[in-house]
Amino acid sequence: MQSQATRFRVNGRATLCSDAALLSPSAVEGKPRQPGILVGIDGAYTQCSKACLRSHLWDATRFVDPSGLPKATLNRSPRVSAPFRARPSMLRPMTANAASATACVWAFAEHLLSAAAHPRWLDHPILQAARDAGTLFWMNESPSTRRVAVIGAGMAGISCARRLTDAGCQVHLFDKSRGVGGRMATRRLQWTDRDHQPQQASFDHGTPGFSARSPAFAQFVEQPGLGLMRWQPTLAPGSFQALGGLDLWVATPDMPALCRQLLGEIPITLSCAVDALVQEVAAAPAGTTWRLQSQGQCVGEGFTRVVLALPPAQAAVLLQPHRPNWAVQARRVPMLPCWTLMGVAELQPEAPSWQIAWPQRGPLASIIRNESKPGRQFMPGFVHWVLHATAAWSQTHLEDASEQVLPQLQAALVDWLGHPVSWRQTQVQRWRYASAPREPASSAERCWWDAGAGSSSGLGVCGDWLGGAGVEGAWTSGQALAAAVLA
Ligand SMILES: Cc1cc2nc3c(=O)[nH]c(=O)nc-3n(C[C@H](O)[C@H](O)[C@H](O)COP(=O)(O)OP(=O)(O)OC[C@H]3O[C@@H](n4cnc5c(N)ncnc54)[C@H](O)[C@@H]3O)c2cc1C
């Protein structure tokens, strides 16, 4: 409003108007204005004038590119708020999109700091809301100062680590295996052919492939550069229609390739089984930090956040001292086992024309010709079989020795095919925690996250058992936890 510090915002539509009757009240010295501006008002409200002034809301020369916006920092202690006040430029980024609400929040924050207001004001709902929305950070809380340890480099851990890294966090991964991927696994076997020449065959003995049900995961798998290929396998006659019309996706040239691709430049420590988490009180500004231990040795320290991306039984061990209630919940998750047979066999004259079978009864849940998958090695005259036993059969035989399990699974294949199989090489693997129940462990959230100030501050958990089973569930859970860490 002219000559006043008060701002009054009107939202609506303005049109040029020449209606003499409407314009007559605004006549000056008997002369009506011609034309006038007719404003249809949708909404009107007062607005903090300082916000508009300080934000230079209408000064186009001071607008900045939103992608380069600094993140605001507020220090909880007014005593040391000088660095913030000394950088008034940090109060202007909202001019980029002229968001009046943001402008008000910033002006309010500045007022609190410049007046050295009582710290309790910094917990004001307006500031908290801005913090939740990610427009305001407390000092030393910008993503680049968050050091996050992610334990577990399967799909959940890598999905979380990638999103946190892309948001500017410093992430370090740890995994007990020699490579990444977890249950998205591929095993190589040596064998000798008919001419006694050494050969190598590979088998996707964990996830054979996965489907994408949610729009978010479908968008993820369809993006270029991930090395994923669509697989529409020919089903064996009499197979159970497990996919309900959905495509299968496979990573190439092997299943861990997807996790390797997502890992990119993120630092990782492999062959490192983390067996203890220790919370340490560090000097300001870090506050409390986490140290990771393996067999009594420190393998990493100074982390402000820790993400556990592990199957529930393994997560429970690390959670126990810090969140015993989560540990109890995790131990209750009924993960399903799976005995798997990998084998090279000679191709019989009556070779199957199909690529995958999902038997409806018997000990086998799936029978896969691994060499027929996209991007796999094919050796003329040989089949690379991968057989997965059902969860029920695997549970019954969970503690059996490999030598007992192998002939039973071989016999089950012969039963299904109806003819003998000439094996060149075989191996079995027991997956104690192969798959999670379809119903996630916690129906409300897809991850667990403690942002509080207690003994588990900055501790989070993700995995397929929280995200809704399978590779998709693991990815979803990792994404959810990253979003919670960044909030
Ligand atoms: C035989 C089989 C068949 C499957 N079939 C399908 C299917 O058809 N479709 C589908 O979508 N999904 C399938 N799955 C399930 C799918 O593979 C998993 O849901 C998914 O890969 C789980 O990812 P994750 O990151 O949650 O866990 P994981 O992949 O298990 O990753 C956990 C990681 O943590 C590491 N780790 C564990 N303890 C520690 C520790 N103390 N310190 C450091 N690292 C540790 C492990 O080495 C592992 O790399 C199958 C799995 C198996 C085994």
- For 192-238, the DSSP string reads E-TTS-EEEEEE--S---B---SHHHHHHHHSTTS-EEEE-PPBPTT
Query: What is the rounded CA–CA span in Å between residue 300 and residue 315?
Result: 18
Q: Is the CB of 300 under 6 A from ligand 1?
A: no
What is the predicted pLDDT for the residue at 3?
60
* DSSP state letters, 385-454: EEEEE-HHHHHHTTTS-HHHHHHHHHHHHHHHHTS---EEEEEEEEEEEEE--SS-SSSS-SSEEE-SSS
- Give the residue carrying structure tokens 């126990």: 320
444 CA from centroid of ligand 1 (Å): 22
Sequence-ordered list of residues with C-beta below 8 angstroms from that of 227, at least 6 positions apart, any chain: 251, 252, 253, 257, 258, 261
Residue 40 main-chain phi, psi, to 5 deg: -90, 120
Place of tokens 């089949």: 383
Residues 252-282 have pLDDT tens digits of 999 999 999 999 999 999 999 999 999 887 6
For residue 64, the model assigns a pLDDT of: 60
Confidence at residue 455, expressed as pLDDT on a 0 to 100 scale: 67
Protein residue whose Cα sits closest to atom 15 of ligand 1:
470
Say which residues have a Cβ less than 8 Å from residue 226's Cβ, sequence separation at least 6: 251, 258, 261, 262
Q: Which atom of ligand 1 is nearest to 273's Cα?
A: 42
Is residue 474 within 6 Å of ligand 1 at its C-beta?
yes
Distance CA 423, CA 99 (A): 69
Identify which of 192, 240, 212, 174 has the alpha carbon closest to the alpha carbon of residue 388: 240
For domain 147-179+262-333+441-486, say whether CATH 3.50.50.60 is its number: yes
Question: Does the beta carbon of 431 lie inside 6 Å of ligand 1?
Answer: yes
Q: Residue ranges of the domains in the chain?
A: 1-39, 48-138, 147-179+262-333+441-486, 187-255+336-435
Q: Whose CA is nearest to atom 36 of ligand 1?
A: 152
Q: Phi and psi (nearest 5°) for 62?
A: -105, 5
Of ligand 1's listed atoms, the one at least distance from the Cα of 338 is 1
The CA–CA distances, whole Å, from 77 to 129, 145, 189, 285, 343 equal 19, 19, 61, 12, 65
In this structure, how many other beta carbons lie within 10 angstroms of the beta carbon of residue 64? 15
Q: What tokens appear for 3 in the block?
A: 């000559």
Say if ligand 1 is within 6 A of residue 434 CB.
Answer: yes
Q: Are 186 and 202 in contact (CB under 8 A)?
A: yes
CA dihedral (122, 126, 131, 136) positive or negative: negative
CA dihedral (428, 431, 437, 440) positive or negative: negative
Q: What is the pLDDT of residue 335?
A: 94
Contact residues for 409 (Cβ-Cβ < 8 A; gap 6+): 339, 341, 363, 364, 387, 389, 428
pTM: 0.74
**Which ranges constitute the DSSP H helices of 29-186?**
49-55, 82-85, 100-114, 125-132, 155-166
Distance (Å, whole) CA 325 – CA 484: 20
Q: What's the gap in Å between 363 CA and the centre of ligand 1?
A: 22
Q: Is any ligand 1 atom within 6 A of the Cβ of residue 394?
A: no
Residue among 187, 471, 479, 481 whose CB has most ligand 1 atoms within 8 A, to mutate: 471
Q: How many CB atoms lie within 10 A of CB 117?
A: 15
Question: To test ligand 1's pocket by mutation, which of 163, 184, 203, 207 has the most ligand atoms within 8 angstroms of CB?
Answer: 207
Architecture of domain 187-255+336-435: Alpha-Beta Complex (3.90)
Whose alpha carbon is nearest atom 27 of ligand 1? 154
The pLDDT tens digits along the chain (487 residues) read 556 666 667 777 777 877 787 778 778 887 877 777 777 776 676 667 677 677 776 677 766 655 554 444 444 333 323 323 323 333 333 333 334 445 545 555 555 544 444 445 555 565 556 555 555 544 445 566 789 999 999 999 999 999 999 988 899 999 999 999 999 999 999 888 888 888 889 999 999 999 999 999 999 999 988 999 999 888 888 777 766 677 899 999 999 999 999 999 999 999 999 999 998 876 555 567 899 999 999 999 999 999 999 999 999 999 999 999 999 999 999 999 999 999 999 887 777 889 999 998 899 999 999 999 999 988 888 899 999 999 999 999 999 999 999 999 999 999 999 889 999 999 999 999 999 987 776 667 899 998 876 666 899 999 999 998 899 999 999 999 999 998 8
Residue 431 Cα to ligand 1 middle (Å):
10
CA gap 185, 342 in Å, rounded: 12
- What pLDDT, on the 0 to 100 scale, is given for residue 105? 53
Per-residue model confidence as pLDDT tens digits over 56-105: 766 777 666 555 544 444 443 333 233 233 233 333 333 333 344 455 45
Ligand 1 close to Cβ of residue 174 (< 6 A): yes
Is residue 358 lining ligand 1, measured as CB closer than 6 Å? Answer: no
